[in-house]
Amino acid sequence: MERQLMESTRDNVLYFPTKWLWGAQTQRSLQNFDIGGERERMPEPIICAFGILKKCAAKVNMEYGLDPSIGKAIMQAAQEVAEGKLNDHFPLVVWQTGSGTQSNMNANEVIANRAAEILGHKRGEKFVHPNDHVNRSQSSNDTFPSTGDAIWQLAQGGTAVGTGLNTKKGFDVKIAAAVAEETNLPFVTAENKFEALSAHDAFVETGGALNTIAASLMKVANDIRLLGSGPRCGLGELILPENEPGSSIMPGKVNPTQCEALTMVCAQVMGNQVAITVGGSNGHFELNVFKPMIASNLLRSLRLLGDASASFEKNCVRGIQANKERISKLLHESLMLVTSLNPKIGYDNAAAVAKKAHKEGSTLKEAALKLGVLTSEEFDKHVVPENMIGPSD
């Protein structure tokens, strides 16, 4: 059986033709890159983008001589891919060839076989050919980066190394226009196809922006977690929503769970950006062969940050309350209120007041009166926390 399988994949015929729409190249990848299982599958947004690109390519290729009946069948099949109707037929994982060739061929094979069915032919007959028809005027090297394009400048039309070999003049501009019309987004063709295939600075920059957001959210979540610590031995200035029990052994314990989830997501996004940066720095000569990983990590970071932020707002921020009694107590016990006395009694005297209050466990007012540097009325006039939130008049 194993020998027959290898022979069938070498001959580029379908394996299990009654069940799956994919063909030999997809099957080879399943066998050769058994890394991570279903959880590591190519992200669905990329699969849908393949559908859009293949549909638009068929539309433009009909202008350059592709048989209209085949072209229209490809467009119909590709639309099904774009709508997610054929997701089960895209089993490949991210960890494959760095150019994304196997996922491109997965799309070509699925669309070719589905188009053949639409035209009344059997799967595997190659009445619609995955390379000659579906992949016409394309290469994995320009198709895959176009599926994850974040800069409105498509690499499509550069084919293998940026020269546009096996395309017709104007194909790149026309397919960009077709994609723009299909998605209602301002896609244009990349001016420099060599750069578009080998350098992915825009992805690194986008990941960097997400990394910045992650760093900011990490600070926000940690501030809220610390301000909500308590209720008796922490700061306790904020009262956080008690969404679920926080311990399986300590009764009544409640954790800042949304803060913890968000900070873990932020850490993952930062890690994703490290991988994106490594990938972006490895565009050797005419091709970057880290494309699947770069696209997957960027999509994962976008999804995680979006979901985590929405969850954090809904299940934490929206329900936060200020513990006014605790805030007032800590405020009026703070030794740093002595700062407002600097203009009145000078730095050295103010420092003496603070040190005495700290050493004796007294209030600032009591220490000031004992040292004789202020009267009670003068202290109350100058130490007003509400006046310490900005410059004085």
Q: Can you say whether the dihedral through the CA atoms of 94, 97, 99, 102 is positive or negative?
A: negative
Q: Quote the domain boundaries for residue 51.
A: 3-136
Measure CA 385 to chain center.
43
- 3-class DSSP assignment, residue 154: strand
Which amino acid makes up residue 150?
A
**Alpha-carbon distance values, 203 to 10, 119, 226 (Å):** 36, 39, 34
Is residue 116 domain-shared with residue 213, that is, in the same domain? no
Question: Are 59 and 116 in a shared domain?
Answer: yes
Pseudo-torsion of CA 294, 299, 301, 305, nearest 10°?
170
Q: Classify residue 165 by burial, with Cβ atoms within 10 Å: 0-12, 13-18, 19+.
A: exposed
pLDDT of the chain, 393 residues: tens digit per residue: 333 444 444 455 444 456 899 999 999 999 999 999 999 999 999 999 999 999 999 999 999 999 999 999 999 999 999 999 999 999 999 999 999 999 999 999 999 999 999 999 999 889 999 999 999 999 999 999 998 775 588 999 999 999 999 999 999 999 999 999 999 999 999 999 999 999 999 999 999 999 999 999 999 999 999 999 998 889 999 999 999 888 889 888 889 999 999 999 999 999 999 999 999 999 888 899 999 999 999 999 999 999 999 999 999 999 999 999 999 999 999 999 999 999 999 999 999 999 999 999 999 999 999 999 999 999 999 999 999 998 987
Q: Name the domain boundary from 322, 354, 379.
A: 322
Residues 105 and 31 both lie in one domain: yes
Q: How many CB atoms lie within 10 A of CB 45?
A: 15
Domain count of the fold of the chain: 3
What is the domain-level CATH number for residue 120?
1.10.275.10
Q: At what angle do helices 257-280 and 291-315 cross, to 10 degrees?
A: 160
* Same domain, residue pair 127 and 19: yes
* Residue 180 maps to a domain: no
Q: Are residues 35 and 125 in the same domain?
A: yes
Kindly state whether residue 246 falls inside one of the protein's structural domains: yes
Residue 169 belongs to some domain of the structure: no
Do 316 and 369 belong together in one domain?
A: no
CATH (domain of 370): 1.10.40.30
363 shares its domain with 302: no
Residues 250, 306, single domain; the answer is yes
Give pLDDT, residue 151: 59
The residue type at 387: N
Last residue of a domain, one of 322, 354, 370: 322
Residues 50 and 132 in one domain: yes
Nearest to residue 87, comparing CAs of 20, 185, 2, 10? Answer: 20
Q: Is residue 142 part of a domain?
A: no
Q: Which of 302, 322, 342 is the last residue of a domain?
A: 322
Strand partners, 321: 239
For residues 8 and 132, membership in a common domain is answered with: yes
Examine residue 158 and state whether it is found in any structural domain, yes or no. Answer: no
Give a yes or no: residue 181 inside a domain.
no
352 and 298 within one domain: no
pLDDT of residue 206: 95
Q: What is the CA angle 6-9-13, rounded to 5?
A: 135
Distance separating alpha carbons of residues 258 and 244, to the nearest angstrom: 10
Burial bucket for residue 224 (CB in 10 Å: 0-12, 13-18, 19+): buried
Does a structural domain hold residue 50?
yes
* Residue 132 and residue 16 in one domain: yes
Whole-model pTM: value is 0.87
* Domain assignment of residue 121, yes or no: yes
